[in-house]
Amino acid sequence: MDIHLVVQVVIDYYRDMVQWSTARCLNQECKRIVNAQKHDNDCWGRRTFIRPHFCEVCGQTSDCGMLNYWSSDFTSIMHITHCQNWPCKMSAIRSMLAHCKADNLYRLRTPFRPTSTVNIPRSDGSETVGCCNPFYLLWRRRWMVYTHWNDGQQEYVKLVPLTQYTQEAPKLVGDTL
Domain boundaries, the chain: 3-105, 106-177
Taking residue 86's Cβ as centre, other Cβ atoms within 10 Å add up to: 22
The Cα 139–Cα 145 span in angstroms is 9
Span 92-131, pLDDT tens digits: 988 998 888 888 999 898 999 999 999 999 999 999 999 9
C-beta of residue 44 within 8 angstroms of C-beta of residue 56: no
What pTM does this model have?
Answer: 0.75
The Cα 165–Cα 14 span in angstroms is 44
Give the torsion through C-alpha atoms of 42, 44, 50, 51, to 10 deg: 30
- Average pLDDT in the chain: 85
